[in-house]
Amino acid sequence: MSTFLQGPVGALTRIDGRTYDYFGGCGYLGLQSQPQVLQAAADAVLRYGLSTANSRGGLGESPLYTEMEETACAFFACEKVLTFASGYLGAAVLIQGEGQANDHFFIDADAHFSLWDAAAASNHAITPFAHCRPEALQVALQHELTAGERAVVLSDGLFPISGEVAPLPDYLEVLRNLPARLIVDDAHGAGVLGEHGRGTLEFWSITDERVSVSATFNKALGGFGGLVYGRRQALEHLERNSRVLAGSSPLPLPAAAAITQALRLLQVSPQLLQQLQANVRQARAGLEELGWQFPVAETPILCLPARGGLNLFRLREELFHRGIAVEFVNSYPSAPAGGAIRLAVFATHTPAQIERLLAAIRDVLRGQ
Ligand SMILES: Cc1ncc(COP(=O)(O)O)c(C=O)c1O
């Protein structure tokens, strides 16, 4: 089925001439179509144009980047933020920038493509370990890490399809007495996990200097582009050593302005995160009544794998007929074998929309 978006993506989204209750994608906070965010982007494009047509430094600097990075610093409560063209590049920025000749990568088997690609490009040894299993990491380290090597563990923070939060404290415990680092791709956690929505590190209260994190503005934060955040000294080291930062264009200027506005809104509107959490609880409770189970940590990604006799394609089609857009995913990192319906809960969904979704699924299950 081909689908064409005919308006901003949000809790209600226009697709092929019809308005749907929309539970797809990653705009968990609804910021990508928030009027003040759109206005900031529109004002910026008229005043500054689309891009600086230059890399950062020298003549490629813009006040919009400074403002965005200062606002992001305040949001993530860190000393420094570096931004670049896409979240996909985050792993490359960290791996290039922090790389040592003796690195040996230990990667969650279901980690995102960007982590695999960045590790592969480094030409160091790569050892996968079973998804979200600290004991498997421990065994892999015992068997594969050789004397003189540094272990670099790679994992998503919040997995994009399964909705699981990686057991990062357990990984750190496994790494306790080793020369080691942990690199986290927090594309889906940033903006939604933790008390202030700072992401998976805040969720687990991790402040360990061995941990580095990358994220994207393109999902919960409503914009576009990638970032790494952390301590000044560490990020200045990355700045000097990452070819990605030196050799790629920065974010589009309207995206930078939109991100600044989105982050400011988030800081003054904690109710957005609270509303998201309430919506997640409502959706999870209803789906649990229908027989699905979810990881303990509450996240806006709800994964409905196939189960006895349930045809997921049919479920998706039936929901579309009832005006509810959901996605079937089977070839993306962390999708279960056989695929799953992936539901994304937004802060901007109304309780009535979630109830409609639950009623529609109940109805389809009854008729199968
Ligand atoms: C886990 C994960 N990491 C990184 C990315 C890439 O981020 P971006 O779209 O900003 O390049 C994605 C998806 O887009 C993702 O799902």
Q: What is the pLDDT of residues 128-167, one digit of tens each?
A: 999 999 999 999 999 999 999 999 999 999 999 999 999 9
| 156 Cα nearest atom in ligand 1 | 1
Q: What is the pLDDT along the chain (368 residues), one digit of tens a residue?
A: 556 899 999 999 999 999 999 999 999 999 999 999 999 999 999 999 999 999 887 788 999 999 999 999 999 999 999 999 999 999 999 999 999 999 999 999 999 999 999 999 999 999 999 999 999 999 999 999 999 999 999 999 999 999 999 999 999 999 999 999 999 999 999 999 999 999 999 999 999 999 999 999 999 998 999 999 999 999 999 999 998 988 899 999 999 999 999 999 999 999 999 999 999 999 999 999 999 999 999 999 999 998 888 999 999 999 999 999 999 999 999 999 999 999 999 999 999 999 999 999 999 999 87
Pocket of ligand 1 contains residue 156 by CB under 6 Å: yes
289 Ramachandran zone, left/alpha/beta (phi>0; psi -120 to 50): alpha
pLDDT single digits (tens) 101-110:
999 999 999 9
- Confirm if 227 and 215 have CB atoms less than 8 A apart: yes
- Confirm if 353 and 30 have CB atoms less than 8 A apart: no
Pocket test for ligand 1, best of 185, 186, 217, 248 (most atoms within 8 A of CB): 185
pLDDT for the residue numbered 233: 97
- Confirm if 103 and 150 have CB atoms less than 8 A apart: yes
**Which of 91, 126, 90 lies closest to 105, judged by CA?**
126
pLDDT for the residue numbered 301: 98
pLDDT for the residue numbered 280: 98
The residue ranges of every structural domain in the chain are 12-23+269-367, 36-263
Q: Does domain 12-23+269-367 have CATH number 3.90.1150.10?
A: yes
36-263: what fold? Aspartate Aminotransferase; domain 2 (3.40.640)
Q: What is the DSSP secondary-structure string of 54-114?
A: S-SSGGG--HHHHHHHHHHHHHHT-SEEEEES-GGGHHHHHHHHH--TTEEEEEETT--HH
pLDDT single digits (tens) 2-49:
568 999 999 999 999 999 999 999 999 999 999 999 999 999 999 999
Phi, psi for 156 (deg, rounded to 5): -70, 160
Place of tokens 């400011």: 264
**Which of 195, 107, 116 lies closest to 151, judged by CA?**
107
pLDDT for the residue numbered 56: 85
Report the separation in Å between the CA atom of 154 and the middle of ligand 1, taken as the mean of its atom positions: 15
Pocket of ligand 1 contains residue 252 by CB under 6 Å: no
Pocket of ligand 1 contains residue 334 by CB under 6 Å: no
**Which of 340, 355, 364, 37 lies closest to 191, judged by CA?**
37
List Cβ neighbours of 321 (8 Å cut-off, separation of 6 or more): none
- Confirm if 361 and 315 have CB atoms less than 8 A apart: yes
Length of the chain counted residue by residue: 368
Name the closest-CA residue to atom 9, ligand 1. 87
Report the separation in Å between the CA atom of 216 and the middle of ligand 1, taken as the mean of its atom positions: 7
Buried b (16+ CB within 10 A) or exposed e, 338-362: ebbbbbbbbbbbeeebbebbbebbe
pLDDT for the residue numbered 14: 96
Pocket of ligand 1 contains residue 186 by CB under 6 Å: no
Cα distances (Å, whole numbers) of residue 283 to 29, 87, 318, 346, 361: 16, 28, 19, 11, 12
Pocket of ligand 1 contains residue 298 by CB under 6 Å: no
Token reading at 312: 């997921």
- Provide the β-strand partners of residue 156: 185
Name the closest-CA residue to atom 7, ligand 1. 87
Phi, psi for 144 (deg, rounded to 5): -110, -25
Report the separation in Å between the CA atom of 223 and the middle of ligand 1, taken as the mean of its atom positions: 12
In whole angstroms, give the CA distance from residue 133 to residue 111: 12
Token reading at 77: 């409560």
**Which of 295, 289, 336, 293 lies closest to 312, judged by CA?**
336
pLDDT for the residue numbered 367: 84
